[in-house]
Amino acid sequence: MNAAALRRVLRMLASQDIFREDDQGLYHLTPAAEFLRSGASRSLRDAVIMFSEDYMWRSAGHLTAAVETGSSSFEQLYGKPFFEWLGATPDAASTFHASMVQLSETGIERIIDAYDFPATGTVVDVGGGRGALLREILEKNQHLNGVLQDDRSALREHVLDTPQTADRWRLEEGSFFESVPVGGNVYVLKHIIHNWDDEQSTAILRNCRSAMKDDARVLIIDPVLPEPGNPHFGWALDLVMLSTLTGKERTRQEFEAILNGAGLRISNIFPVQTLGEYSIIEAVAA
């Protein structure tokens, strides 16, 4: 690594308070840089590495192709959909899944604080990865049970087995495109729906509607785009979806459309202030 070139990068980051340069030209960590450390609480190291990967930059660099065709630039570059390519690329998959774990665990406490979970019943975490959100829900609601659904590789690394959650959870392997666990009182989809187009999203939500009790609720945790012209990090995230996946960020009206198509309706929206501006969209049977 070239020291002079590295210093040019570090001094730019220091201008943004990511590092601090002292009088001897040495660089030190700042509170913001703590998130770059692998051992730090709520580390974002893997997420930063993932967003710096070549496939992310190439996809963003070919955004024009996505705009011209309406299909992701990633798929045009790599010849297959993102998740299919990821399944055949172990190194990239390892970094991606590690980054998703870190991003998923960001703001969990605020999500739980923003929503009044029922005193009893079963919470189903659909596509919940390792189950960090479900674990926190169960630990803070001692009379709730939980079901974590995801594929085998995610469930193998689950984090639900704690003294506070003993005997109150189970794992269910499967694809939410095929079915979701039946009989739940609350179905949670955190950072799931925005990955998929309207048809795919409606299919996931329709499976939730088929599995849920009549008085159950579905919680979608994603950005809700504001009126045009208003600042929101979701506008930029929407371009990441356009260049890489088939999904998109949605307005309230767009969420209403896919929910109605699945036999559901919005009953409330709860804002959550995390590292970005997310919301909990609560839906019930239509």
Instruction: State the catalytic residues.
Output: 194
Structure tokens at 215: 């008085």
The 3-class secondary structure across 254-275, one letter per residue, is HHHHHHHHCCEEEEEEEEEECC
Cα dihedral 100, 102, 103, 104 sign: positive
Phi, psi angle pair for 283, to nearest 5°: -125, 150
Q: How far apart are CA 52 and CA 92, in angstroms?
A: 11
Q: Which amino acid is at 269?
A: I
Q: How far apart are CA 261 and CA 105, in angstroms?
A: 30
From the list 189, 186, 190, the residue with the least C-alpha distance to 141 is 186
Q: How far apart are CA 163 and CA 151, in angstroms?
A: 24
Q: Report the largest interatomic distance among the alpha carbons of the chain, rounded to a whole angstrom.
A: 67
